[in-house]
């Protein structure tokens, strides 16, 4: 991966151009890169990442976004439409997550910048409310090891102890007994996934709900990935356990609209059982010389374009549209999972939903990845154990994609069997395919990953 992509074709800007370039020229350069990069995922051979893949839908959202891109959603007196968009996005999310089941409190929500934003806001809310109502001074949160690293990030940022619960290696579900044994008077929340990123499995949310009620702590359900598709899977009759506000111990749910809600990247709904919990993380500064300041979340200014585009996507697709897309995705996932199960050398981990992960007890699964990469496939690699993860999205529902997966996978198994004594070329890293290294190499891995991230933001050196 080059730190200076396209350096052989387009000029590198090391400073502002003395004279601005013509708009047509700038747009032509952008289009050239976009068309080539889109061609990779348009085949349907990319795990996750592109959840919609419909350029007509993208064009529709671009029109909606363009009308409000220049508007600051912070200034509600000038743009009351932002209040309409945000309120209705939250209302539609609460409806999908069965907010009607809530009694005794008023459900509410926030629209955040994505899954990490929703998780961070939830953790902050629990910290602030526990400090105010229970006098908690050394807060801790308990999450399954499989829960998203955004919880680790949130606890790091907000000075909260994170306790990681082990999971059953066969089911990948959290050990509920371990969770209960590690709750104390400083625990502010438990976490469960519906579904987790790695394996597409759902934690025993009903049991965690009972724990949360028994011990008087919060329960966050991370539905960032599954929140906008699992409800439709339930409606279609798939065996998906209840994970939402129908369970009385569930106090917050994150659900990303920019995934299976088919909105642009940069939006997520954080739903609260109780408006008081949401309001606990509001920020106020009443004595600033610039005026009285308040903010409902960590962000200040933000483009109303994302609110408009997300709202437009949701009301244009509607329940029947989402249900139809979910049906096609679950069917495509079932076909791909069946292709995996047809090979005795491969093993699907746990009981997945639309997303699945598979490994092998006969050879290093990254041999399969090496072969599939040569056929144009991009999986997400995992570790402990080494595994490959496939998040099925709408591009995989195109005609012929599941059949190509089955054919290529058969070739990959033959290749892996023939090369089992060798070391594979690929490994595991979130968002792409370094892993498979032992824990003693942790310092080295961190250096490599830091170098990689540096490369994403490298200031071009003088030539």
Report the CATH number at residue 375: 3.90.1150.10
- Contacts of 110 by beta carbon, 8 Å cutoff, 6+ apart: 90, 118, 121, 269, 270, 272, 278, 296, 297
Tell me the residue range of the domain where 381 lies: 320-449
Picking from 281, 313, 345, the residue at the C-terminal end of a domain is 313
Examine the pLDDT at 433 and tell me if it is beyond 80.
no
Rounded to two decimals, the pTM is: 0.92
What whole-number distance in Å separates Cα of residue 286 and Cα of residue 291? 7
Which letter does DSSP use for residue 379 in this model? P
- Residues 39-62: tens digit of each pLDDT: 989 999 999 999 999 999 999 999
Q: Do 404 and 278 fall into the same domain?
A: no
C-alpha distances (whole Å) from 362 to each of 129, 182, 371, 411, 416 are 50, 37, 16, 16, 9
Banded model confidence at residue 75, pLDDT cuts 50, 70, 90: confident
- Residues 202-255: tens digit of each pLDDT: 999 999 999 999 999 999 999 999 999 999 999 999 999 999 999 999 999 999
Picking from 262, 295, 313, the residue at the C-terminal end of a domain is 313
Q: Do 296 and 333 fall into the same domain?
A: no
What whole-number distance in Å separates Cα of residue 219 and Cα of residue 241? 16
Q: Do 275 and 354 fall into the same domain?
A: no
Banded model confidence at residue 434, pLDDT cuts 50, 70, 90: very low
Banded model confidence at residue 77, pLDDT cuts 50, 70, 90: confident
> Token digits for 154?
């949130």
Query: Measuring CA to CA, which residue among 282, 277, 279 is closest to residue 250?
Result: 277
The residue with greater pLDDT, 455 or 29, is 29
- Our count of domains for the chain comes to 2
Q: Do 409 and 334 fall into the same domain?
A: yes
Residue 219 placed within a domain: yes
Residue 60 placed within a domain: no
């Amino acid at each position: 991966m080059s730190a200076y992509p396209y350096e052989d074709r387009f000029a590198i800007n090391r400073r502002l151009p003395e004279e601005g370039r013509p708009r047509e020229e700038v747009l032509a350069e952008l289009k050239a890169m976009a068309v080539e990069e889109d061609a990779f995922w348009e085949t349907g051979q990319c795990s996750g990442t592109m959840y919609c893949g419909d350029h007509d839908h993208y064009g529709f959202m671009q029109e909606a976004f363009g009308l409000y891109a220049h508007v600051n959603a912070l200034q509600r007196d000038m743009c009351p439409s932002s209040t309409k968009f945000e309120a209705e996005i939250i209302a539609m999310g609460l409806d999908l997550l069965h907010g009607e089941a809530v009694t005794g409190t008023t459900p509410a929500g926030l629209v955040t910048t994505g899954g990490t934003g929703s998780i961070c806001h939830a953790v902050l809310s629990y910290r602030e409310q526990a400090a105010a109502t229970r006098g908690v001074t050394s807060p801790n949160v308990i999450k399954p090891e499989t829960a998203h690293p955004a919880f680790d990030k949130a606890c790091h940022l907000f000075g909260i102890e994170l306790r990681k619960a082990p999971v059953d290696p066969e089911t990948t579900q959290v050990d509920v007994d371990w969770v209960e044994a590690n709750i104390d008077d400083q625990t502010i929340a438990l976490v469960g996934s519906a579904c987790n990123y790695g394996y597409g499995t759902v934690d025993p949310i009903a049991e965690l709900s009972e724990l949360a009620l028994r011990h008087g702590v919060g329960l966050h359900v991370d539905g960032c990935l599954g929140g906008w598709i699992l409800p439709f899977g339930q409606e279609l009759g798939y065996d998906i356990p209840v994970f939402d506000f129908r369970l009385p111990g569930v106090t917050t749910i994150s659900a990303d609209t920019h995934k299976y809600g088919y909105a642009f990247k940069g939006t997520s709904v954080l739903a609260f059982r109780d408006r008081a919990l949401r309001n606990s993380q509001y920020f106020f500064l009443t004595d600033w010389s610039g005026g009285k300041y308040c903010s409902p979340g960590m962000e200040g200014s933000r483009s109303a374009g994302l609110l408009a585009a997300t709202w437009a996507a949701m009301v244009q697709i509607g329940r029947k549209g989402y249900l139809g897309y979910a049906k096609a995705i679950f069917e495509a996932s079932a076909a791909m999972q069946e292709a995996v199960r047809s090979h005795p050398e491969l093993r699907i981990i746990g009981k997945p939903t639309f997303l699945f992960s598979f490994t092998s007890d006969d050879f290093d699964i990254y041999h399969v990845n090496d072969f599939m990469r040569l056929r144009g496939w991009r999986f997400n690699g995992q570790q402990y154990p080494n595994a490959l993860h496939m998040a099925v999205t709408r591009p995989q529902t195109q005609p012929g994609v599941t059949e190509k997966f089955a054919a290529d996978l058969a070739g990959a198994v033959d290749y892996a069997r023939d090369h089992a004594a060798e070391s594979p070329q690929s490994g595991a890293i979130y968002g792409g395919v370094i892993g498979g290294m032992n824990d003693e190499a942790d310092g080295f891995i961190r250096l490599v990953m830091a170098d990689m991230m540096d490369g994403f933001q490298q200031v071009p050196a003088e030539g």
